[in-house]
Each structure stands twice: as structure tokens, then as C-alpha cells.
Amino acid sequence: MIAINELTSIAAPLDISNIDTDQIIPKQFLKRIERTGYGEFLFFDWRRIQEGPDTGKPDTSFALNDPSYTGAKILIAGKNFGCGSSREHAAWALTDFGFLAVIAPSFADIFFSNAGKNGMILVRLSEEDVNLLTHRSQKNPQHKITINLEAQTVTDDEGFSGTFEIDPFRKYCLLNGLDDIGLTLRHEAALDAFETKHDGEFWSSPRVTA
Amino acid sequence: MSEMKPRTLFEKVWDQHLVASPAGEPSLLYIDLHLVHEVTSPQAFDGLRMAGRKLRRPDRTVATVDHNVPTSSVQDRLVIADQIASRQIDALRRNCAEFGVELYDVQSREQGIVHIIGPELGLTKPGMTIVCGDSHTSTHGAFGALAFGIGTSEVEHVMATQTLPQDKPKTLRITVDGELPYGVTAKDIVLHIIGEIGTAGATGHVVEYAGSAIRALSMEGRMTICNMSIEAGARAGMIAPDSVTYSYLMGRRFSPQGAAWDEAVAHWSSLATDDGAAFDRELVIDAATLTPTVTWGTSPGMVTGIESTVPLPDPNASEADRKGFERALEYMDLKPGTPMEEIAIDRVFIGSCTNARIEDLRAAAALIQGYKVATTVRAMVVPGSQSVKAQAEAEGLDVVFKTAGFDWREPGCSMCLGMNPDILAPGERCASTSNRNFEGRQGRGGRTHLVSPVMAAAAAIAGHFTDVRKWEFKGGAGR
């Protein structure tokens, strides 16, 4: 995991609530056994015209197809972003496409965890602030937003300034690019002791043998 | 004896699995059972290999294939035409062999959807912690286990350490009291709950379902409810174990026996929420007010009663919600005010980890006896596991379905998520017993309406949604 602190970028606006992981990365791309290369399939269906003679061609009204947002490292979205399936492919697709942060009023639990494991910064702002930033990025694709993780602030080049909450441990891991398994293994002695005792509690065993 | 603070079911299971609680960090939770399938595991096994790590507890790990497998015929499953799917299933076979994990493969008599075979085999038991790289792991909470879905990095973490760092979730108790009206099922209860609290209504919470209407449900019904907890955003759903749970578990392949059984029941019986234990939130629902429920939109919270209509827009909704509402109507090709019973369908899918257990198939079969599927409808039944399929065939349910014109298929996730050849064509409308009606979930451009098995069966016969409370049973096996 790469350590991250400050990020300044233009932002791609998607003012839709409840964007589910089926939309972020449709099922047909979950059959791959690799961890990389999902970016080209990000929002696969929403990026394409779904009906009529032009079916399958790029839908130019979709923000991610608009060349003015090319290179955006920040995505702004509606509430409950990342709901639905547990597929980490959603986080892989977003990072592979180039997004390092998502700003939204709220996130679904499993996606929130998956994003953190992949070094993404998820910023929760009020619905009002998210709307404001969305409108600014829609009006002016060159609108730049800066997220500072250490200071827990969001600012933009039009005078917006806000703060966001983040769990201190998650912040520490993101700032230092820490690997979870390595962190857990600091508790290996406690784990060994717990496991020895717990293995004796037969009700905890999946396969109880007579 | 020291005075213990009253605790909830969730808190008891949580406390019994705490390995470490370092200050300022998430707690380290021990995982009793890790269920693995082909889609979310290959990158995790790769991670172990790259780091030179072992799989810590193969004896607490069980794998099956379900998401990708074709359901058309035994032959199609042995030689899978989709090369990418085939490669993923082969990767699981190699990984299980290399790391010593038991795999219920396509030809196994125990293969099935991971959340159906866990309980069937007796692997799932009360008081356990259970995880799987699949959001519907919440299903296992029906037994009083703490069970939740995880991402692939967490799958790798559990493989390497048999633990997960977890922030302690909040608790929400949903009490459903009273008697369920005729024609109303567990699926209708959970769809109603999601409609009421919204798809993010339980985010950050573990839900405990309680009350006389929940107690009166079979294990199958309880699993349906816990299964869809994630659709309300919940981390997990749980139901305290009781005599219904014990009757289900007794004699299962991996259930305790003899003296161990008695000891297990004594432990399980100690798990129920203590009187006076506090929940962060409470919700009470009167079962008598519930009706057969249908989703009309592209989110599981967009529900309405069968006797009702496609809803009108809410003038007080936020801009994003209003856009979501309009987008859903457009995608579903529906107009506000249309009576639900007038909506014609093209396909019916009875299956998935939500509703493909034997009780679901029995209920649907009883309803269709003596009827034929409407000529405008293609209907399929996909049993949740080989055991469910064998049981249904022993009871002759397959004949009932086939006689009525249903396609009777091999077990798997099938059209719940369409990662296999079972998909909707663009524009097709489906009455589905599955759990998600997201855009394109069952196939690009497909329109999904979530319903109970009896509502799906009735729609297959009528060719449109119809109120099961008015259904005339012909087979004598009604209710």
C-alpha cells in the first residue's frame, strides 16, 4: 500500500445516490483472477449507450467520458456510495482508473473497508457541502479540490473549506501505507494463546467430530 | 457470582471471540469458519503465495463453487464453455489442493450456494463467527452466529491469521410482533424492513431480529431475513437460537452428537440477549400490517405492496434522491400510479441464497400445481444446492415444476447475479426471488422485481404480478 497524505486534483462529479458496486464494476469482469487491469471496466454500462442504434457506443453525457475530467483523482458522489456486493474489484477498478479519493455524504460498510485496504481516502462531507462541490465541478471541470489527510481538511480553489472525520487508526495506516496482516501479526502471541483455549471450546469448531 | 451487565446476543458472541483489544485500534476478532468461493478468492491465495504465508487454519476453511457454474446441465458444468469462468474455477481447485482446503466441487453431492451448504452440512452453528468474501454471508446469522461479508484483502487476512481487525458495530433490534397474515412470508418481512429504513438504514449496525413473528419462522425463513440484512446496509443480521434452530441442526453431518450435543445446546441457550440489555436503536413492526411485497425500482428499498401502485415522487426528497427516483422509473420503464398487478413479466427466477431452500420450493410448487406457466413467460427454478435438489426430486417437486412448464436446473447462484450463462436480455422484466434489483444485476438492461417464492410462482402462471392472497389452489396442498 502506498502512503498518501495530500491530494490536489480536479474532480469527476457523479451526483447519484446509492451507487452500488454492481455499477462500479459489473459482474462479467469478476471472473478474472488478477488484481489489476479493472480500470477500463469501471462503470462499464454507464459509460455506454444502452439502447437504440448506438448501443454500446460511449455515452458522452456521462462524466467519466467527458475529456475535461480526464486525469481526475477525486470522485464526488451521492450518499451510500459502494452499497451492495462485497466485491473488492470495485475498489480495484476505481484505483486502477486513477481515483485516489471519493467524496460523498456516506459510504456502505464493506466498500469503506475495501477502499481503505487499497489506500483510497474516503471523505464524508455533509450533503450540502457535497452538492456545492459537485455543482462547482460540473460548472467548471478545472475546479480543483485539495484533500489533506493529516489535517483532515477539504479545500478548493474557489474558497471552500471543510473538515472531515476519520478513524485515527485508519488515518495512521493510510498515512504510513501499513499492511494489515503485518499489523495483526504484532499480536501473534495473544493469537496463539487465544487459539489454544478456543480450540478446546468445541462449539466453535466448524466440524465437530464425535 | 459477580453482577454482569446485561448483554445482547451480538455482544456475547463478540466478547467470546476477542483476541486482542489494543487501545486506539480496531479489536482483533477470531474467525471460526471461513467460507470460500471462486470469485473473491484467487487474488487472496495469490497474496499468500507472494508473501510466503501459509493458510493458518485449513480445518476452519471450506470452499465450494457457485457464482460461475452453469446451471443448464451436468455436462455443461463439467466442461465450462466460458473460458474465463473455467480458468477461475480451475484456479480455486489448484489453490484448495495447494493449501489443503476442502472443496465441494461441481460433481460433489454437497455442492451448492455457499450460504446454503454451510447450514445444510451443519458447519454453521450458533455462537460462531463466520466470514466469506460475499455480502450475503449475513445469512448464517439466522443461527445466532455473527456472520458478515468481507472483501478480498480481508479474505487474505483471514487466511493468514484466522482473525480480522474490526471496529465494534452498533446494535439495532428489529422486533416483529404478531401473526403474519395469510400469503405474507419472511421475504415480505425483510423487503418491508428495507423499504422502511432504507438501503443505508442499518449501516454500521448489527441487526438482531426478535419478536413473535420471527420466532414463528422456520430456519429457512429466518435465513431469508438475515440474508437480506446487507440490503439495508447492515454489517450482519442475527436471530437468537431456540428449539427451531436445534431441531434444524440435530443430526447434520458436522453437528455435535451424544453428550457433546447436550453440552452444545446448553452453550447455545446461553447466547440469547439478556433481559434489560441495551441496543443503540430499536424498531418495532406489527406483523399484522404486512402485505405481499414487490420492488418497483432499482434498489431493494424501492418497495410497495402488491395491492398498491408504482409510487408517486416524494415532493420533499433531496435532489439526489429525486434523480435516483426518476432514473429508476426510466430504467424500469414504469409510470407512477400503475397498479402493481397490471405489470406484465417475461421471466421468473426462483433461486438464489435468499430463496432456494426446500421450503421455498415446496411453497412455490404447492401454488402452481394444476396450472401452466403463461405462454408469454419463461420460468426457471434453480435449487440452492445438490441436497435441496435431491430432496425436491424425492418429493416429486421437480415433476410439478416441469409439468407446469418451469425449467428445472442444476444448483448455483445462476440468475441472481448473472455471472454465468443465466441472464436477462435487455428490456426483459423478471419476477425474481433473489436479493438485488440493481440496474443490470441480472443482465444488462434487465428489469428485476424482487418478490417471495409464492409471489414469483403466481406471477409465472398469471403472466403479471398477482396477489397470492386471492390465489385459488388446485393441488390440495395449499397454504
Q: HEC states along B356-378?
A: CCHHHHHHHHHHHCCCCCCCCCE
Q: What is the pLDDT of residue B276?
A: 97
* pLDDT at position A1 over 70: no
How far CA A30 is from CA of A204, B85, B86, B131, B417, in Å, comes to 32, 9, 12, 20, 11
A window 78-97, beta carbon within 8 A of B: 78-80, 83-89, 91
Q: Is A194 touching B (CB cutoff 8 A)?
A: yes
Instruction: Give φ, ψ of B324 to 5 degrees.
Output: -60, -40
Q: What is the pLDDT of residue A209?
A: 62
- Answer yes or no: is the ipTM higher than 0.95: no
How far CA B11 is from CA of B131, B148, B210, B236, in Å, comes to 17, 15, 16, 13
Chain A residue numbers with beta carbons less than 8 Å from the beta carbon of B39 are: 30-31, 87
**In this structure, how many other beta carbons lie within 10 angstroms of the beta carbon of residue B307?**
13
- SS3 state at B17: coil
Residue B99 near residue B45, CB atoms below 8 Å: yes
* pLDDT at position A81 over 50: yes
Smallest CA-to-CA distance from B350 within B393, B371, B372, B379 is with B379
Q: What is the pLDDT of residue B217?
A: 98
B window 85-114, beta carbon within 8 A of A: 85, 87-88, 91
**In this structure, how many other beta carbons lie within 10 angstroms of the beta carbon of residue A177?**
11
* B286 vs B212: CA distance, rounded Å: 10
Strands B236-238 and A74-77: unpaired
- SS3 state at B225: helix
Tell which phi-psi region holds residue B273, choosing left (phi > 0), alpha (psi between -120 and 50) or beta: beta
Chain A: closest CA distance from residue B39 (Å): 6
CB-nearest to B84 from A26, A31, A205 is A31
Residue B297 near residue A20, CB atoms below 8 Å: no
Chain A residue numbers with beta carbons less than 8 Å from the beta carbon of B257 are: 208, 210
Strands B33-36 and B129-132: parallel
CB-nearest to A203 from B62, B204, B267 is B267
Report the pLDDT averaged over residues A85-108.
97
Cβ neighbors of B33 (< 8 A, separation 6 or more) are: A206, B60, B61, B62, B118, B123, B124, B128, B129, B130, B131
Q: What is the pLDDT of residue A186?
A: 92
Reading the block at residue B93, the C-alpha cell is 481447485
Place of cell 450540502: A128
Chain B: closest CA distance from residue A20 (Å): 8
* B165 vs A170: CA distance, rounded Å: 11
Place of cell 482473525: B163
Give me the residues of chain B with pLDDT under 70, please.
1-3, 476-479
Chain A: closest CA distance from residue B153 (Å): 7
Smallest CA-to-CA distance from B411 within B33, B63, B64 is with B64
Q: What is the pLDDT of residue B318?
A: 82
Smallest CA-to-CA distance from A147 within A165, A123, A178 is with A123
Handedness of CA A30, A34, A36, A40 (dihedral sign): negative
* B312 vs B341: CA distance, rounded Å: 17
Q: What is the pLDDT of residue B339?
A: 98
Q: What is the pLDDT of residue A30?
A: 95
Consecutive H or E run containing A117: helix A109-117
Q: What is the pLDDT of residue B2?
A: 54
Chain B residue numbers with beta carbons less than 8 Å from the beta carbon of A183 are: 165
Among chain B residues, the shortest Cα distance to A33 is held by B42
Chain A residue numbers with beta carbons less than 8 Å from the beta carbon of B123 are: 206-207
How far CA A40 is from CA of A24, A90, B45, B367, B445, in Å, comes to 11, 12, 24, 46, 20
- SS3 state at B182: coil
Share of chain A above pLDDT 70, in %: 99
* A15 vs A27: CA distance, rounded Å: 23
Q: What is the pLDDT of residue B323?
A: 87
A window 40-59, beta carbon within 8 A of B: 45, 50-51
In this complex, do A206 and B60 lie within 8 Å of one another by their Cβ atoms?
A: yes
Among chain A residues, the shortest Cα distance to B266 is held by A203
Q: Is B26 touching A (CB cutoff 8 A)?
A: yes
Residue B126 near residue B394, CB atoms below 8 Å: no
Q: What is the pTM of this model?
A: 0.96
